[in-house]
Structure 1
Amino acid sequence: MMSISTTTVSAQQAQPQPQSTPRVLVYTATAGFRHDSIPTAIQVLGNIAGQYGVEFVFSEDRSLFTNETLSGFDGVMFVSNSDEVLDAPGQAALQTFFQSGGVYTGVHAASACLFQDNNYLQAVGAYFDYHPQLQQATFERLNSTFPATANVPDRWTFVEEVYHFRSDPRSEGAVVIMTVDESSYNNDGTSTGNYPPEGSPHPIAWYIDSPNSAQPLLDSVTKAGRSFYTSLGHTNETWQNSTFQGHVMEGLLWALGGASTRAYGVGLVGNGTASASATSTSSSPSSTASAGATGSGTAAVSSTGGVTGASASASGSSAPASSQSGSGAPGYGQLVFGKMAAVGLGMVGAVVLGTGMVL
């Protein structure tokens, strides 16, 4: 069994309390393979948002990735994406968001997208390479004090894809907090290229306290937003597991707790009034901080945890080595019950109060 580290200073520090509810854009767009578990992830995150004191806005609309819209979010969470899910202007806006103190969280195939965007690589830590067939494996925590692993078993056995990566996330400043028992699964996968070693122990989940994606910080930004990534989360069953839910959400809260955004009274982005006296129109065009545009492919979720409308439109049906089976049919969607609500800047189309069915 791997030894457990208890020397992570940044993880042990008390988390500051936000002055307003942190708002997070959950981005589930796919340009290639699509995971069957995406609708479950959306539903689960919506249901537990209030429990963790955050507000989620779900979207698959890449047009939301502008300086104006992102300025209203404290964090972005990429969930099971695939291939090139942002165009060049969207990538540039995401880079500005990171340079403005914005927070990043990635789940599962979040490492299997934007392969040509070095800034995104610096945020996520490492790109996905391959995985063996879906099977039972035993994951081991390396840190018992970090919030995302504090309530995870020392040895956690369940059916999951064991991700292998194209580089060592430690080269991007990552601290690996979870690994896998290499004897617990059959590594029958094949690498997609001649990549550098992913490092030892095998990285499964990690955090970056001050990612290179935020450099250089914009004027009036005093600190970089943190990053957290976990490669777990392939199946519906995993998303429905309370231990996994805590793993993801505590990682998100740790990242937000770096206190680099408006929800904490600092920075150029987020839900709240920043203490910094920045006036840059490119990164902070609005003082309303209620951004989180709803429109095509978008759903808002309130901090009370109720889903307030959803759309999970998909494009593409190819299935590269990055995943197992899943739906890639155009118009792939879900049925969501709840009160639909419009929030913030850039709303596209009409929004109606009532029960929403999105096809």
Structure 2
Amino acid sequence: MKNRRLTRMTRTLAAGLALATLGMPDALADNQFKLLVLAIPNKYHYEYIPIARDSLERLAKLHAFELVWTNKTQVFEGDLRQYAAVMFLNTPGEELNPAQRAKFEEYMRAGGNAIVVHRAAITPADNWPWYEKLVGRRVGVHPMLQTGVVTTVDKGFPATYGLPERWIWSDEFYVTTNPYNVKINPVLNVDESSYDPRKIWPGQVSEPMGKDHPIAWHHRHEQGRVFVTTLGHNGEMYRDPQYVGHLMGGIYWTATGLGQRR
């Protein structure tokens, strides 16, 4: 009888350990890194927010990273060192006050990293030159949203994995200049023969950039990595698997420095 009781206890204990072990991977899984996303609604970009947030939260769960989403710039007054990267999502740096700007500059000088998406690349000229250098280009005007052909420049960069060499996409293809002579590494270009680069609103003028028209790039600023994509104008884009994959590739490289083929 005693042996039967011991056997039953042993089986019960073994079953309990098995169940506990099955639950351990989720319970003990560590996030790989922490990403801060600043997304403030503005006149032209607000409907994207719930869609982009949902997509990014799904990416965070799928790829095991922690996502901190905010529309409050006060987060820049805290400890930014906890974040592997900071994403400005359709929210330019001009939203930060002088003290918050100083904290972000300090973060980048200490090896922090930044991701700039679409509208976040547009900031008033000479308002914050340091941020313009971080972006790497100054956005002048942008033609109306049109369908064009995006071309892959760097097949070895994670933000292009899964994209074809020529990609049909509809967006505002920003026209940029380089007043601070910043060296960038183009990731995607747009073929200006595939849309009308002069098609713009009355009272404005848009001129073609020519063969070299980067719309996504990466470079170093201070001691950190910077990834910029000027794509992402409307909400539905954040449901598109190819665009979301493009973003994830940029997040992955910016936060970790990994994944780039040489």
By the TM > 0.5 criterion, same fold? yes
- When residues 199 and 59 of structure 1 are mapped into structure 2, their CA distance, relative to the original with a 3 A threshold, is farther
Aligned 1:52-63 pairs, distance under 5 A: 52-63=63-74
Off by >3 Å, runs of 4+ in structure 1: 30-33, 190-195, 197-200
| Aligned partner of residue 153 in structure 1, secondary structure | coil
Contact 1:132 1:162 in 2 (8 A): yes
Equivalence for 1:109: 119
What letter matches 1:127 in structure 2? R
- When residues 25 and 193 of structure 1 are mapped into structure 2, their CA distance, relative to the original with a 3 A threshold, is farther
Matches of 1:122 and 1:199, distance apart in 2: 22
- When residues 182 and 88 of structure 1 are mapped into structure 2, their CA distance, relative to the original with a 3 A threshold, is same
Deviates more, 1:198-207 or 1:124-133: 198-207
Aligned 1:157-236 pairs, distance under 5 A: 157-167=168-178, 171-187=181-197, 188-189=199-200, 200-208=211-219, 210-211=220-221, 214=222, 224-236=223-235
Work out the number of aligned pairs and report it: 226
TM-score scaled by length of structure 1: 0.58
Equivalence for 1:69: 79
- When residues 199 and 83 of structure 1 are mapped into structure 2, their CA distance, relative to the original with a 3 A threshold, is farther
What letter matches 1:36 in structure 2? E
Contact 2:188 2:215 in 1 (8 A): yes
What letter matches 2:99 in structure 1? P
Matches of 2:174 and 2:200, distance apart in 1: 10
Matches of 1:30 and 1:129, distance apart in 2: 21
Equivalence for 2:60: 49
Matches of 1:32 and 1:65, distance apart in 2: 23
Contact 2:31 2:65 in 1 (8 A): no
Matches of 2:104 and 2:93, distance apart in 1: 16
Q: Between Structure 1 and Structure 2, which shows a larger proportion of helix residues? A: 2
Deviation at 1:189, TM superposition (A): 2.5
Matches of 1:135 and 1:198, distance apart in 2: 16
Matches of 2:174 and 2:256, distance apart in 1: 27
Deviation at 1:167, TM superposition (A): 2.5
Deviation at 1:127, TM superposition (A): 2.7
Corresponding residue to 1:154 among 165, 178, 189: 165
| Aligned partner of residue 130 in structure 1, secondary structure | coil
Contact 1:34 1:82 in 2 (8 A): no
Contact 1:225 1:256 in 2 (8 A): no
Matches of 2:109 and 2:205, distance apart in 1: 31
CA-to-aligned-CA distance 1:267-310 (integer Å, 9 cap, x gap): xxxxxxxxxxxxxxxxxxxxxxxxxxxxxxxxxxxxxxxxxxxx
| Aligned partner of residue 100 in structure 2, secondary structure | helix
- Is residue 95 from structure 1 mapped to residue 105 from structure 2 by the alignment? yes
Equivalence for 1:126: 137
CA-to-aligned-CA distance 1:173-229 (integer Å, 9 cap, x gap): 21011111101112213797999x968510100000x22xx2xxxxxxxxx221101
Deviation at 1:62, TM superposition (A): 1.1
- When residues 100 and 161 of structure 1 are mapped into structure 2, their CA distance, relative to the original with a 3 A threshold, is same
- When residues 94 and 114 of structure 1 are mapped into structure 2, their CA distance, relative to the original with a 3 A threshold, is farther
Matches of 1:155 and 1:194, distance apart in 2: 24
Matches of 1:80 and 1:245, distance apart in 2: 15
Corresponding residue to 1:80 among 80, 87, 90: 90
Q: Which has the higher contact order (CA 8 A, sep 6+)?
A: 1
Deviation at 1:39, TM superposition (A): 2.2
Deviation at 1:63, TM superposition (A): 1.2
Structure 1: stretches of 5+ with no match in the other structure = 1-18, 215-223, 260-359
Corresponding residue to 1:144 among 127, 145, 155: 155
Matches of 1:226 and 1:83, distance apart in 2: 17
TM-score scaled by length of structure 2: 0.78
| Aligned partner of residue 78 in structure 1, secondary structure | strand
CA-to-aligned-CA distance 1:153-175 (integer Å, 9 cap, x gap): 11111221111123379x32210
RMSD between superposed Cα atoms in Å = 2.7
What letter matches 2:245 in structure 1? G
Matches of 1:243 and 1:179, distance apart in 2: 16
| Aligned partner of residue 86 in structure 2, secondary structure | strand
Matches of 1:49 and 1:135, distance apart in 2: 31
Matches of 1:244 and 1:194, distance apart in 2: 26
Deviation at 1:69, TM superposition (A): 2.6
Q: Between Structure 1 and Structure 2, which shows a larger proportion of strand residues? A: 2
Contact 2:149 2:191 in 1 (8 A): yes
Matches of 1:183 and 1:42, distance apart in 2: 34
Matches of 1:56 and 1:168, distance apart in 2: 34
